[in-house]
Amino acid sequence: MAAGQRNLLVKLCVAMGVVALPLLVAILAVVLPELRAQLHEDRIRGLRQAVETAYGVLQAYEARERAGELTRGQAQAQAAALLQTLRYAEVEYFWVNDLETRLVMHPHLPAMVGKDMTGYRDLRGKPVFVDIVTLARAQGQGAVAYEATRPGSPDPIPKESYVKLFQPWGWVLGTGVYVEDIDREVASVARRILVAVGGALVLAALAGVYVSRQVVRPVRSLADAARRVARGDLSVRVETTSEDEVGQLSEAFNAMVAELRDVVGALVEAAGATAADAERIRASADTLARGTREQADALQHAAEAVQDMSARVSQGAVAARAAVDAALEQGQVADTGGRAVDEASRKMGDIVEVVERSAETVTRLQESGRVTGEMLKLIQQVADETQMLALNTAIEAVRAGQHGKGFSVVAGEVRKLAERTREAAAQVQALQDRSDADTTLAATLMRQGTVQVHEGLTLSSTAGEALARLLAGTKTMGERVGTLAEENTRQSASGENIAGRIQVLSLRSTEAVAGVEQIARSVEDLRARASRLRELAARFTTPARGG
């Protein structure tokens, strides 16, 4: 068998194995356990039906007992004898025990009939009859699993039994089936399934061998033809022996080879024409590259010149802007000075008013001092007259003698008062004289200060007017310098914009030079590839050229 056949057969077998393995696993892991469980349920259901049938026998004899036809002992004996002979599935039997675990009837244990089965245990030590009685008392009927020996065999094997309590007599009727029978049926079914699956796999393998033989031969012919085409032989042709997919593949292969012959011929012609055109393009590209390179150099120089001019204009714009800033700053200082001079003028005016009011106040003080002097003179006159009055009073008191002593004391007190009044008036007069001198001096100084304040106010007004004119001139100069700076800035921006555009044109020209050079290299590569294409096309052999 060929390698291709073996490979296809192996792949087919692997594919069938991939399909069959999950099927086998599903059968072994799912189907067979489900089948065994179903058979177990069917057997339990069958055991229950068998017990129900035998239960009818007990009901019939118990009915005859109730009818008086038989005594209980006769009815039980006849029923036990009948049950002992009953069989189903040819070998399966029934047994009966009571609720005291005494064995009433058992076809294969006649020696144990009538004995207490409490101590009876299976191979694993399970008290079988005790469990049966417990189940019957609790549920009335149900399934019991234990191990027992098959009649004629000494080895105990698992057994499933079903028991039911016959309440009128206190009997427990039961029958069972051996589990190995269920396992035997399951094994039989498993063998049949495995045989069927194995047969299907064998048939599939035979079919795979046949199919591989039918497919590999034309595929191998196609492979040989493809290798010849790979070596350059385009005269090959594959024979078509069928109309299936393999035959269609052969026809498509032959059409592909024919198209490839046409393509190779066209490639040979195109390669020659491409090489000639590439040479002409390369020469034109060289000329274009030189012209573009010269243009790029000229644009680069122009861009540098414009950038230099723009830089100088920009410096002038910066200087003008600095002058504008300085003029604005000086204008702000002058404005501040003008406001300060105006404020000083206003303050000087306020001071003039205060000084004038102070002078008026001093004048009024002088007048008040004169009035006060006159009043002091009047007080001195009153003091002199009082002293004179006191003297006259003293004289009259002396004349009065004893009766004038009181007047003498009054005259002394009046004289003292007059002296103190004269002293106080003299002190006030001294203070008034000093106050008059100070007031006169203050009035003189006030008049001089008023004259000087008026002169300062005049000078402040003159300085304010000068600062106002300076501020106006500074603003005008700032506006003119600002206009010049803005113009320089616009010129600088325009120069930079022009320089940028020239730079972009220079870069594009440089890129164009690089592109033209790249075109020249690509054309050179194209010419080389066209030559290589002619060499490769020459390797193919076509019917027109001969073998």
- CA gap 421, 410 in Å, rounded: 16
The percentage of residues in the chain with a pLDDT greater than 70, rounded to a whole number, is 71
**Each residue's pLDDT tens digit, 288-310:** 667 767 766 766 776 676 577 66
Angle, CA 61 vertex, CA 96 and CA 100 arms, to 5°: 30
State if pTM tops 0.85.
no
pLDDT at 238: 77
* Lowest mean pLDDT, pick from 132-141, 189-198, 414-423, 504-513: 504-513
pLDDT at 202: 75
What lies within 8 Å, CB to CB, of 534 at 6+ separation is: 268, 271, 272, 275
What lies within 8 Å, CB to CB, of 58 at 6+ separation is: 79, 83, 166, 169, 171, 173
- Which domains, ranges and CATH numbers included, belong to the chain? 3-211 (3.30.450.20), 281-536 (1.10.287.2610)
* Other CB atoms within 10 A of residue 485 CB: 20
What lies within 8 Å, CB to CB, of 362 at 6+ separation is: 439, 442, 443, 446
Residue 113 has pLDDT above 70, yes or no: yes
- CA gap 208, 313 in Å, rounded: 94
- The whole-number average pLDDT for the span 182-194 is 74
Under the banding of pLDDT at 50, 70 and 90, the label for residue 118 is very high
Among the ranges 105-109, 164-168, 459-463, which has the highest mean pLDDT value? 164-168
**Each residue's pLDDT tens digit, 305-341:** 657 766 765 676 676 677 667 667 766 766 776 676 5
Residue 166 has pLDDT above 80, yes or no: yes
**Each residue's pLDDT tens digit, 231-279:** 777 777 877 777 777 777 777 878 887 787 777 777 767 767 776 776 7
DSSP per-residue letters across 108-122: T-GGGTTSB-TT-B-
Beta bridge partners of 161: 144, 176
Under the banding of pLDDT at 50, 70 and 90, the label for residue 1 is very low
Under the banding of pLDDT at 50, 70 and 90, the label for residue 542 is low
Contact 189, 35 (CB under 8 A): yes
**Each residue's pLDDT tens digit, 223-235:** 787 888 787 777 7
